[in-house]
Structures are given as C-alpha cells and as structure tokens.
Amino acid sequence: MVSFLHWVLRLAFDFLILVSIPLVLLTLWLYNSVLKNLPSLENFDKHLLPSVTKVLAYDGTFIGEFFKEQRYYAKFNEIPDIVVKAFIAAEDANFWQHKGLDFLGIFRAFLVNLKEGRIKQGGSTITQQVVKNLVLTREKSLQRKLQEAILAYKIESSLKKEEILELYLNLVFLGNNSYGVKAAAKNYFRKDLRDLTLAEAALLAGLPQAPSKYSPFKNFDLAKERQKYVLNQMLKNGWISETELLRAVKEELKLYKANFQNYFFAPYYLAEVRKEAISVLPDRDIDSEGLIIETFLIPDMQISLERSLRQALIELDKKFGYRGPIGKVSEPSEDLSAFKSAFRLAVVKQVDRTKSLAVVDLSGKLRTLNLEDDAWYNNFLTKDRQKIKRPVKSYLQASDVIEVDLKEDELTLAQTPEVAAGGITINPKGGEVLALQGGFSYQVSNFNRVTQSFRQAGSAFKPIVYLAAIDQFGYTPLTILQDEPRSFRVGGTIWSPKNYDGGFKGAMPLMKALEQSRNLPAVLVTARIGPKSVIKYARKLGIESPLPRNLTIALGSADINVLELVRAYGVICCEGVYAPTRFIKRVLTSDGKVIYDSNQSLIDNLKEVVSPQSAFILTQVMTGVTKRGTATILKDFPVAVAGKTGTTNNFEDAWFIGCTPNFTTGIWIGFDQKISLGEKMTGGKVSAPVWKHYMLSIYERIKADPSKFSFPLEENFSPPEGVVKVYVAGSDISLEPIKGAVETYIKESDVAKFPKSKETPAENISSYFEDFDF
C-alpha cells in the first residue's frame, strides 16, 4: 500500500514537473517577448499625429503648407455624427460596448470569411487599429498581436471612447493622399467635414480596409459596393432609415483627385520660409508637427510684383522671336503633363494657311486660333539665337503642342519666356521680406533668381565703393574725381576700364560721377582707398559672397545675389543700421503656443554698421540717380527714390535697386545663361521701368487702403543730426539756398572746408579736398 502511494505521488510529481516546465517557459516567453518590450502608454492621449504645418501671410491669409502626411487634425466635436457612425458601422459595430477586444466580432468575422472563402471582414477593433498604427510596428507575429491586445485593453482603461475615436479618425489612411477624415473630405470632395453628405461619409468609411482596392478612381463599382455595405450596417444599427439609405445610394458623387501642390501662393517665397523654419527650429519636424508659421508676406505686394515681372518678361521675350511648338503628340489623347509650360497647352488639329487660322484642342474642346500676319510670333528664333522672318502658319502642323493664353474668351499664341528675372521687397528698418518672386513660373523652374542665382552686379555695386569713401576717408558728394583714361595692373594683365559711352568727361564731383554711373571715378576711388576697404564695407552691409581683392570690384565684377544687394541698399537707406532679412514672423504650435518669435532675436541682431550721417549722405546722392542720372524714368515718382542702375558686359544683366523711405526693392533681369539681352538693354532701360510699374501700383494701393500696411508711410528720407544741406548751382556752392540749385548734404564737420561766400569757382573746389584729388 505504501509503495503504491509512493508510486502515485511520484507519478503526480513527475506530471507537475512535466506540466510546469512548459508553463514556466511560456511565462518566460510571454514576459521576454510580450510584456518586457511592451511600449509605454505614458501621455498616449497627447500623442502628436503627423499633421500639416500651415503657412500664413502677414494678414492671416493661408498661403501654403508643409507635410509628410496630408493630415488636418480635427477635434471630436468637429467631426459630424454621420461620419462617426459611418466609420463605426464599417469598422467596429460594437465599439461602444467592448473593452478594446471584440471577441464576438472576431468570431463573426471568422464565420463570414469562412463562408466567403476570402478575407471580407477584419476582426480588429478601432482601438486595436489605433494601437497598431501609433504604438506598434506593422510586424505580423504572435508577439505583436498579443501586445496589441494588451495595449488595446489598457488604452480603453485610460481614455474615453470619444478620445479613441478622435485619434482613429485623424489617424486612418483613406487613399488619395488623405490621412484622416478632414483631409479626405478636402481631397475627395473639396469640402469641409461638416458639409459631407451621408453618401460621401459612407464612401470614405468604406476605404480603411483597403484604400487602393476600394479607390473610386481605380474601381468605382467596387467602391460603390463597399459604400452600400457601410450604409446597410448603419441601417442595421438603426442609425439611418431605409429612405436615407436609398437616397444615399442614388446620390451622384463628384470626386476629385488630390492636389499634390502645397504652395498655393507665392511659391518662391514659401520655399524660403521652409529653409528659414528649418534653420531657426532645427529640433522641430516642420513637416509633421502641425505648426502655424506666420510670415511677413503682404499679398497685395506679392501679386503686384508677380504681375509686373511677368508682364515685362513676356514683352521682352517677344522681342527675341518665337521658338516654335514645344513638341508633338503621337496620340490625340496623349497626356500633356510631360511638357513644361507657364501657359495652357493645346494640340494643333489642323492649319488653314489661306485664312491664317488653326484649329486646336484645348482641354478636350476645339478652339480657333487666329495666326495674325503682323504678330510677334512670325519672327522665328533659331537655335543659334538669330531672329528671322518666318510666318508661323508656314510651319505649324497637326499634332504640334503649342502654348496658348486664354483671356476673355480670346485665344492667343503664347510662349514661356527664356529670359528670367528676380525681384524682392524688404522693409529695411526690420529686415522683413514683404514680397519675393524668383522667376517667371515656379512650376516651370523652382530655381530662385533672388537667393540662388549669383550674378555680376555691374554699376549697382558702386554705392558700396562710395560709402566706404564717405564713411572712412572723408569724401563728400562734392569731392572732385577725375573721369579720365587710366590703366591698371590687375593680376598679370593690364586693365583699361572704359565708360558705357566710350568717352571721358574729366573732373566732376562725386555726386555727378555716381548719378551718371561713370566707371573711371569709381575705379580711381577704389585705387585710393584700397579694395580691402570696399570689401570691409560690403561685409558690413551683409554681402557674404566671395569678392575679388582687386580694382575690378569697383565695377561690380563679383557674383552676388539679389537678396544680398537689396539688403545692402537697405542698410544705406536706413541710416546705416543693419537688420538681418527675415521671412518668418512667428511660429506657433497647433494649440497656439509661440515657440519662435523673430522680433525677439531682431533686437539682438540690429546693429549700426555705418554712421547715420554717411549713410544718409550717400542716400541723398543716390536720389540724384533718379532725378538727373541713369534712372530718370523715376524722377516724377510720388515719393523720394534713392537707387542705382546696374548693367554688365555685353548687356547680360540688368539691375535696378531702389529705396523709398519705407521699402527697398531690387529687380534683376537676364538669362540664366550668359546671354545678351540686346544692345543698349541697360538696367535703366530694362529693370527700372519694371521697378516703377510695380512700386507705383503699391503706392496706389497704399493710398486706397493704408490699413494694409502696419507701419507709417513716409515721403522723404529724414536727415539725422550732424549733417547740413549744401546748395550747388553751376560753379557756385553755398550753405544758403540758391535759385535753381541742386541740393545735397555734407557732415557738419566738413562745413569748415567751404568758404562763406555764395560763389566758389569750380577750379577752386579741389583745393578744399586736395588730400583726395587725383
């Protein structure tokens, strides 16, 4: 008996050992594989879904967005009840009852899938889907499924059902570049969430299981079948009536494909905003944190700048001639998206050369295009850039792809200009960039000619030479300079600079040398004060590009960009105070917390780099450029304009940089390659008129509605303390007004150099500045 009992106990012990070992191993496996690596749910309800960052203009206008996933976060109370019910019906009918896992739903899905012989229903709850997408990886394994189940239960214990739904409806991918229901409403139907119909909500609710498979663009019938399934589930739950179901099924859906463009206004400006945002917030993910970026862009100014530049480039491009069709199509319905154009594209169907007409296909509609015999496009531009007379009707053929413009129902032949341009306006007092256009069309070329193109500035660089001379070496607007032929050794060669007109005018005051853009005086001043001094002042003004350490710097031989030169002029016209250029005003989180304010850093970066007196004196000299010099097209401008034209060798670059008391604007026009704009196409002839057209429109807008601008507008530059007005009439110089005299300013410390009488013979002027007389 004892031995039998012993045998039973031994058998029981062996059985326990046999059973416990797998249980221990299973427990260890569960701990190491499932529980030990279980992700933390701390602050799970505050988890930030990747969301769109919005960019706003100065007046709050929405202008663009940055994103990795196009998601617009919607609070639960913003999501219509019909949308909530549609998704619950489609994805998790027992959502309000279960605690994260729906065992009845899993069994039901198993039976349906078994009956259908395919996966038709899923067993995952909405809570599980939130866990899967936010906390866990997409790995398919037993460990991950167990972790998913545990976490789903834990989330249900810590969050309200509404909070879980809010996360899910913002998280779910619905195809068509849409993450979350708010993006889907916008992309599929171009509607706000609150405006969705039952039919539209049901279509969207049918997508999460397989967005590509049920895409209404790829398989509309399958998408409709899925929509009906959702509606039937809603009916089954008593959330809609049968009448509502039938009406929704019959509703005609107007669908749109997502617009992948995220720069809706001022794209060149937005590209710079993005760069600056990454620079000032290096630890932030600009594309996914749902930030709000406020900029300094003034929409009215941007619109005017774009229009002025585009109009000028179109007219200038026409002077070179027509380059012909941009390609051919082999099939009538061929996609034209491969052809780059800033205009609309049309396919030629037939040409009537007798009547000078062409029939073209424009977006699926046949239109008649008049080919006028005296129009610009009858001058053909050959590949070697020769313009020849060749009527377009003589070579235009069927299947040619052409650019056209449609205005007021009139169709005309068009051409995206090859000639390029860049323009920018800043407020020099604070460095705010108010408008920027980096080319004719961002869609054709996103190369920004304001910030990325480095070109010789030509005579537009001369003010920096004269600023160094005035500020450090005692020059004044009346210092006598010599405009005479001279030769210089530059490196291993002899350089003999010439003036634009080929001649020389002898002795003249500095102010006249700058007004008439004489080359030799600028070179001679540079020889006297040294290229290093010029470079030092260029750096003070914010020019960072490499600069030549020789005399050619005087004539703008350095390659710099438009932004640098405009910033430099801004310092000159703002009494010598340097302000870094800024695109961004503030950056806020989605809940309104300010995480970056450029005004705070501006105070630390504002600095006086040139004496106010020197800067103001040069500004006054530069107003002479627009009154009597190379930019007299601006002599009647309604407010004071201080500026300078610039033209480079072979007329390859045309510049005008001009300051009013409130704005500094720069315009550059040229080809991206080193190609001539044409004989005598100078900065004064090409760029100054564009500047005038643009800035006049701005001042007209200001006059019509001053509230659009947050700072007081001024008509004249105000002199600082320490300068006095000087009157010059012929050979007479005086501190007292002289009839018909030209006004300029000098420093008070230079007054002693002038005689008290009203008349000073011209030949004696140099005696007062003999230290600087060449």
**What positions carry a catalytic annotation?**
91, 459
Residue 420 sits at φ, ψ, to 5 deg, of -115, 175
3-state class percentages of the chain: helix first, strand second, coil last, to nearest 5:
40, 20, 40
The β-bridge relationship of strands 420-427 and 642-647 is unpaired
* Buried residues in 363-394 as b, exposed as e (16+ CB within 10 A): eeeebebebeeebbbbbbbeeeeeeeebbbbe
CB atoms within 10 A of CB 221: 8
Distance, CA of 165 to CA of 80 (rounded, Å): 12
The β-bridge relationship of strands 53-56 and 365-370 is unpaired
- Name the region of 632 (left: φ>0; alpha: ψ -120 to 50; beta: rest): alpha
Q: Which residue has the tokens 């002693």?
A: 752
Distance, CA of 301 to CA of 663 (rounded, Å): 11
R_g of the chain computed on alpha carbons: 36
Three-point CA angle 612, 641, 532, nearest 5°: 50
User: Residue 93: which residues within 8 A CB-CB, separation 6 or more?
Assistant: 105, 233, 237
In terms of Cα–Cα distance, which of 746, 774, 154, 347 is closest to 523?
774
Number of helices followed by number of strands (H, E) in the chain:
21, 29
Distance, CA of 774 to CA of 772 (rounded, Å): 6
- Alpha helix positions (H), 501-561: 510-515, 519-529, 531-540
Q: Which residue has the tokens 């949308």?
A: 83
- Name the region of 527 (left: φ>0; alpha: ψ -120 to 50; beta: rest): alpha
Asked if 652 and 671 count as a contact pair (C-beta separation under 8 A), the reply is yes
CB atoms within 10 A of CB 312: 24
Residue 315 sits at φ, ψ, to 5 deg, of -70, -40
In terms of Cα–Cα distance, which of 547, 551, 63 is closest to 292?
63
Distance, CA of 239 to CA of 690 (rounded, Å): 63
Which residues does residue 431 pair with via DSSP β-bridges, in sequence order? none
Asked if 477 and 469 count as a contact pair (C-beta separation under 8 A), the reply is no
Q: Which amino acid appears at position 366 of this protein?
A: L
- DSSP 8-state class, residue 300: H
